[in-house]
Structure 1
Amino acid sequence: MEILGRITGWPRSLRSRMLAALFAAFFAFGLFPPGVAIAQPAPTPSASSPPAPSYEDPLDYAVAESNSGVPTHRGRFKSPFAHPRFGGPAEVRVGIVLSNVRNYDIQKGSFEADFFLSLTSDRPMPPMDLVFPNGKVDLSEKVADKPTFKLFRFIGTFSSPLDLHAYPFDTQELRIEVEDDDNGIDQVRLVPDQEHTNLDVGFHVPGWETGYLRARVLSHYFPDRFKHDDLYYGRYVFGLGLRRFGTSAVFTVYVPAIVIVLISLMGLWLPRKELEVRANSTTPMLAAAVLFHFALMQGLPATAYLTRADKLMISVYGILLLHMGLTWLWFVFDERRGEAIYKWGKWIGAPVTLLGLLAGIVL
């Protein structure tokens, strides 16, 4: 530049403009040889921009205690897996669009789910390792992966606890649980994105109707695995409520039980001379009730409590035993009291039957 000034006598500003025009012409016509690049000055960070979060391993700068040997950090969490240098947790909004549910097994509580999972943050997210505590993923597809937005598609098998207290009018919740296995709540704070928690168009589960959708975040903590193990982990829980069709429940459970009771009840109006017909209207119905109850429970897992169907069948058993007892009274007492037994059985047994059946339906 100085040599050019001595030769031409041009001022410094003119020399700079001439050199810039010359370089521009060289670039335009491809006169620079391949691989030659012009160094550009690095941009200076703005004083107002926030510092970039640190992604270093927190175990590398944790300090081991002399009395325990466990590395710890200073701050809110002493766990060696805490990351005080990250600069505060990133608020990550979690949304799910459930596309399909297949092969729901009521005995095991397992089902296959196909869904999209979105993660949206107000700041760059740390590297995340998503795990599903209640299931296993068979297919994982990363649709978008940006510092503040990630979109995944998952297909997997999941399991949920069953609640059969109200069976056959029960509602089962199918859960999909998501947890970040790498970052605690000091780096990632999961928030349900209710606006983007939906079902796909045309979603349907055969034999069930959709009851509700809900999403919530729980704090998962481990029992102390070592000293100062005080870091919590956020767990996102998506729940789909499925309930049985009421009409199907009535006709598959209640109608057969009521028919069994009514057939047995009609035998109470038969006199002593029709004893054989009367006995055949009660005893076989008890066997039919046992077989019906057994077939009903075959499609359900074993439970430590009584379902509504169990309570109904218990009332049916009690009613049928009452009818059999009223018939067998004729063999216990003298024939002279047969007419009184017949009247008592007809006018007292019938109301007790109806009350017992009503109690079994309501309870």
Structure 2
Amino acid sequence: MLCTTGFLAVMGPSVPASAAVPPSCRVGAYVTDLYGLDVSPRTIKADFWLWSVCPTDALDATRRLEFVNATDVTQSDRSVVKVGDEYWSQVKVSGTFRQQFDLSEYPFDKQDVKIQIEDSEYNASQFTYVADSKDSGYDHAISLGGFKIRDFGVGVVEHTYRTSFGDPRITHGQNSQYSQFVIDLKLERDDLAGFIRQAWPAYVAFLISFISYWIWASDFITVVGARFGILGASLFSVVVSMRAASLTGTSFGVTLVDQIHLATLLYTLVGVGCTSYILYKWVDPEERASVRRTNTVVALSTTAVFLIANAVSIGFAVT
């Protein structure tokens, strides 16, 4: 893009700087492999063929490729063939591309992988892409560690930069627009086994905490130690499970598994608070019947809230 001012006259085809209808090339892509999805640096690796069909050889779009969201990229096996009055060129691309992964619904998350390509010399007033949607696609044999490709598409958007890049032909303060070709793959992860593996300790802790509400005796003081012991063990197991889940899942953001653990932690802390309240009130014999009713109400209401919240969170994640 920064080459716009100098290279147009020296190296590029003759393209009017302010053409009413800028020249264009039909551009398409076929993804042959998708791998190396890494949530920590938020990158994914892809191999694909990119082609263009242009009215002139000098306009060949595969010679001026800028991969906007790439960290590294290599191009190989470029070829150009004249077919009738058009020039068909293609190039093989392999690279690592930055993404904005949303892991809030992990391990039932859906990811939108994009590969963004722009012309490295001409802005949108000088050259535009036209998406070859019919011939673009992907290899259906691609296997990506727990993910499946649920949709694919290519399109063209006009990307705006809030600068002229120093181009003296553009009025100071004006923006620059570039035609951008976008390869879009929508991924879906459905890892039920992984969810069970990471979430079951939290549900066991929830069950233990629920049981603690029903540990009762005519003299509550005799069982309060057992009740606090059970709740303490539940809290410890939740914290350990959260740590293990973060190591095997993702190190940032709050995922669905994290939400379940946090809800279990809160549920257990309410149990600790309820037990402490009962112990405080037990010294007054007239309050004992009342605190037992309170114990039952707290047990049933918090359990209902916990189960409903879990059902809603999981339901949103899997749909």
**Runs of 4+ that moved beyond 6 A:** none
Within the candidate set 142, 145, 159, 1:220 is matched to: 159
Contact 2:198 2:241 in 1 (8 A): no
Residue 356 of structure 1 and its aligned partner are, at CA, apart by 2.6
Deviations 1:45-89 (A, max 9, x none): xxxxxxxxxxx96457xxxxxxxxxxxxxxxxxxxx973498953
What 5-or-longer segments of structure 1 have no aligned partner?
Answer: 1-55, 61-80
Give distance in 1, aligned partners of 2:210 and 2:292: 13
Distance 1:194 1:255, change over 3 A: farther
Determine which structure has the larger strand proportion and give its number.
2
Partner SS, residue 256 of structure 1: helix
1:155 aligns with 2:108: no
Residue 123 of structure 1 and its aligned partner are, at CA, apart by 5.3
Contact 2:107 2:190 in 1 (8 A): no
Within the candidate set 178, 183, 192, 1:238 is matched to: 183
The equivalences for 1:6-25 within 5 A come to: none
Equivalence for 1:283: 232
Residue 131 of structure 1 and its aligned partner are, at CA, apart by 1.5
1:207 aligns with 2:146: yes
Give distance in 1, aligned partners of 2:9 and 2:94: 34
Equivalence for 1:300: 250
Contact 1:171 1:211 in 2 (8 A): no
Distance 1:165 1:157, change over 3 A: same
Give distance in 2, aligned partners of 1:249 and 1:354: 26
Paired residue type of 1:158: F
Give distance in 2, aligned partners of 1:159 and 1:153: 19
Contact 1:316 1:357 in 2 (8 A): no
Residue 347 of structure 1 and its aligned partner are, at CA, apart by 4.5
Give distance in 2, aligned partners of 1:312 and 1:334: 33
Contact 1:185 1:233 in 2 (8 A): yes
Equivalence for 1:121: 54
Contact 2:129 2:180 in 1 (8 A): yes
Contact 1:117 1:152 in 2 (8 A): yes
Please report the RMSD computed on the Cα atoms of aligned residues, expressed in angstroms: 2.9
Within the candidate set 267, 289, 293, 1:319 is matched to: 267
Equivalence for 2:45: 112
Q: Which has the higher contact order (CA 8 A, sep 6+)?
A: 2
Distance 1:211 1:255, change over 3 A: farther
Give distance in 1, aligned partners of 2:50 and 2:309: 47
Paired residue type of 1:291: V
Equivalence for 1:12: none
Partner SS, residue 307 of structure 2: helix
Paired residue type of 1:362: V
Deviations 1:236-292 (A, max 9, x none): 111212222152354144433222211110111111333333222211211221222
Compute the TM-score of the two structures, normalised by the length of structure 2. Answer: 0.78
Deviations 1:10-30 (A, max 9, x none): xxxxxxxxxxxxxxxxxxxxx
Partner SS, residue 80 of structure 2: strand
Equivalence for 1:342: 292
1:251 aligns with 2:196: yes
Give distance in 2, aligned partners of 1:222 and 1:347: 59
Give distance in 2, aligned partners of 1:321 and 1:85: 67
Deviations 1:137-191 (A, max 9, x none): 4431134213621111111111111223333322112221111101222343212
Partner SS, residue 161 of structure 2: coil
Contact 1:125 1:148 in 2 (8 A): no
Paired residue type of 1:102: Y
Give distance in 2, aligned partners of 1:353 and 1:314: 14
Give distance in 2, aligned partners of 1:318 and 1:57: 63
Give distance in 1, aligned partners of 2:289 and 2:58: 86
Give distance in 1, aligned partners of 2:154 and 2:189: 22
Distance 1:318 1:338, change over 3 A: same
Equivalence for 1:270: 215
Paired residue type of 1:349: A
Residue 234 of structure 1 and its aligned partner are, at CA, apart by 0.9
Contact 2:43 2:96 in 1 (8 A): yes
Aligned length: 286
Deviations 1:189-245 (A, max 9, x none): 212222222121411101212222122222123222335265521111112122221
Larger Rg: 1
Equivalence for 1:356: 306
Residue 322 of structure 1 and its aligned partner are, at CA, apart by 1.2
Equivalence for 2:24: 91
Equivalence for 1:100: 33
Contact 2:133 2:155 in 1 (8 A): no
Give distance in 2, aligned partners of 1:250 and 1:99: 30
